[in-house]
Amino acid sequence: MTAELTRGQNHPLPGTRVEIRVSAGTAVLAGAVLGDAAGRLSGPGALAHRAPGLPGVAVPGGAAARHLIAVDLSALPDEVHRVGVLLALVPGSGPVSFGSAAAPFVAVTEPTGVELATYTVTGLGAETALIALELYRRQDAWKVRAVGQGYAGGLAALLADHGLPAPEAAELAARVHAEAGPARPTVTGPVTPTVTGPVTPVPSGAQGTPEGTAGPAESPATGGSGIDYAHPRRARTTPPPPVPRAPEPAEGEAPRPVAGDATGWTLEERLYNQVWGMFEDLARAVAAYRNAVEFADSRLERELDQTLTDPRARLGGAADSARDTAQARREELVAQARAVLDRDLAQLVAESEVVEPALPPAFARWDAPQWQGAEQPDECPMALRLGDLHLPESPELRIPMLVRLPLERGLWIDSGRTGSEAAMAMDTDDLRRVAMDTAVALAIRVLASHPAGEFRVHAIDPAGAAAAALAPLSGLLAEAPAAGAAGVSELLASLTRRVDLVQMALKAGAPEDLPPDLDTARRLVIVHDFPHGFDERAVTRLRYLADEGPQVGVHLLMVADRDEASAYGPLLDPLWRSLLRLSPVPDDHLADPWVGHAWTYEPLHLAPWEAQQVLARITGR
């Protein structure tokens, strides 16, 4: 299955021969920089920017909207530990910066054209050169990492940042641009670069994507059989549609937000990127405010210490005056920081007010108008809303928590009370009931957001304690909930067999050899009251499904109390680490990757009348 990377994510490479396919929507220079373990260039000779390239690297040369770079990692010199893929705009032609052009799309593929990992470089502004991604060596194995590091100073700044002296970097950058020549026309057939060294060019016809199509004909999840557990391919070889722009604001007026003004090839993708841009903006705005308050507090403490250590300040009212002055400075600094935060919050609230009504149903709240009378979609969504996120500085501003589909990790609804004030205030039975209701609401959202028949839902309820919660799904379950140790074991054995067979068939490229009675539809498995009713073999199979199932369309939705499962000891630790923990009640347990804030997560509860409406749309009744 193709890994769709975001900035900073990495993905293992299964072999040493790969190709990097670039689609930029405008003419760019593409090349590779070879670095040591620290990413430093050994000299100008470590830059491959025109054919024939360097040993182990074949580059196309020249400026074009599409490029193909072939790499044989086994043929690289021993001192090379990193291969950075660079993109640079041509001065004097086309857009003046990447921020005014379509976001570049980069795919790492096998020589046959099968995608291994993709990355859309978003969030660019004044940059005119960038490192899109890098292939790097880690313990004799190679991985790809999405980098997206841009340079407003252009190619010269990029080369200087990689270790070349500034004069040498400027000279090399000027020579690269001079040698680029005019932009080449977009290639509509297979691209076969000139190759130096042991890199083998791909035979004509094996390259994959002709101009204007959405992606390669097959992927690791399809094998050409029509079985596809990856997100539907989106057209990326042509520029995205125009991004909506707000009217120019009046003098002194803040810019008015517009829904869908982020980068992306579709409105859905632009809204997804805009939501996570709002999440990042809020994280950084609150971090700046907290840092300012921390600085004001430390300054107050320092000034008070100086007052106490100065004998002259102890006479008369000097000490009181000094303390009052220091406290006033502190309040002034905090007020200034709060004013800046309030300004940023007002902008984000205004943006949220225009974005929320524009979200597709899969991204929207249950009570949003988008769900009223909406038809079941014909295509899979690119993401799903699992709840809302907020910070204590702005509890009224809720950011949708969107996760990309298909789910790379299972979901765990925590029915335990440890570590959550809201959970501790609830009765144990009530908490378990709310946890199961939350799981059922998520299952209904998955079903309602996908085409009819896309998912089969299974339930594991060893003691039958979740019968009331599962009642809304009674007409949608693939079979009766698995009960008792025997029922649990039978269902897990069946799902494990399905995962094994589909994996083997796809790896062998023979999905047509699957048994005719094997249902290859995606599966959502709701597991209640774990680990009751699970023996060690069942636990092992559940761990296997959590690790291997998502690649072939089997996803776990567990309701469990980790404390109750502690009797299994370290056996379950890998299982918990592989799942995304959600809470059925508001809980500040999620951290962002930028500044590490503890975000409060609020689940999306589904009222009974809302559930009836949604289920009626799914079932047609």
Instruction: Kindly tell me if the per-residue pLDDT of 197 is higher than 50.
Output: no
Name which of 262-271, 402-411, 491-500 the model is least confident about.
Answer: 262-271
For strands 598-603 and 587-591, give the pairing. Answer: antiparallel
| 459-474 pLDDT, tens digit each | 999 999 999 999 988 8
| Alpha carbons 450 and 49: distance in angstroms, whole number | 44
Determine the pLDDT at residue 209: 30
- Higher pLDDT, residue 5 or 38: 5
Strands, E assignment, 3-151: 3-5, 10-12, 17-35, 47-48, 57-58, 63-72, 82-89, 105-109, 115-120, 129-138, 141-151
Q: Which residues pair with 528 in a beta bridge?
A: 559
Judge whether 618 and 376 are in contact, CB under 8 Å.
yes
pLDDT, residue 206, reads 29
Q: How much is the pLDDT for 77?
A: 87
Mean pLDDT of 57-61: 83
Answer whether residue 237 shows pLDDT above 50. Answer: no
Q: 45-50: which pairs have CB atoms within 8 A and are 24 or more residues apart?
A: 46/80, 47/159, 47/172, 47/176, 49/86, 49/176, 49/179, 50/176, 50/179
Closest CA to 83 of 94, 72, 91: 72
- Alpha-carbon distance values, 514 to 2, 114, 185, 518 (Å): 22, 21, 44, 7
Q: Which are the contacts of 46, defined by CB distance < 8 A and separation ≥ 6?
A: 33, 34, 35, 54, 80
More confident residue, 273 or 356: 356
Instruction: Please report the pLDDT score of residue 532 as a whole number.
Output: 83
pLDDT tens digits for range 69-82: 999 999 888 888 89
Q: At 485, is the secondary structure helix, strand, or coil?
A: helix
Mean pLDDT across 175-201: 46
pLDDT of residue 284: 87
- pLDDT score recorded for residue 235: 42
For residue 608, what pLDDT is reported? 73
Q: From CA 49, how far away is CA 62, in angstroms rounded? A: 8
pTM of the shown model: 0.63
Mean pLDDT score across all residues of the chain: 82
Q: Are 47 and 101 in contact (CB under 8 A)?
A: no
Cis ω on the peptide bond leading into residue 550 (within 30° of 0)?
Answer: no
Contacts of residue 197, Cβ cutoff 8 Å, sequence gap at least 6: 54, 55, 56, 57, 58, 72, 75
In this prediction, residue 195 carries a pLDDT of: 32
pLDDT (mean) for 78-106: 86
Helix or strand run (H / E) with residue 542: helix 536-548
Alpha-carbon distance of 66 to 568, in angstroms, equals: 53
Q: How far is CA 443 from CA 162, 437, 525, 606, in A?
A: 48, 10, 9, 11
Average pLDDT over residues 313-338: 82
Q: What is the pLDDT of residues 373-389, one digit of tens each?
A: 778 888 889 999 999 99
Q: Name, in order, each residue with C-beta under 8 angstroms of 450's C-beta and a sequence gap of 6 or more.
A: 376, 377, 380, 381, 522
Tokens 């699970």, located at residue: 534
State yes or no: cis peptide before 381, omega within 30 of 0. Answer: no
- Tens digit of each residue's pLDDT (9 = 90 or more) over 521-559: 899 999 998 888 888 899 899 999 999 999 899 999 999
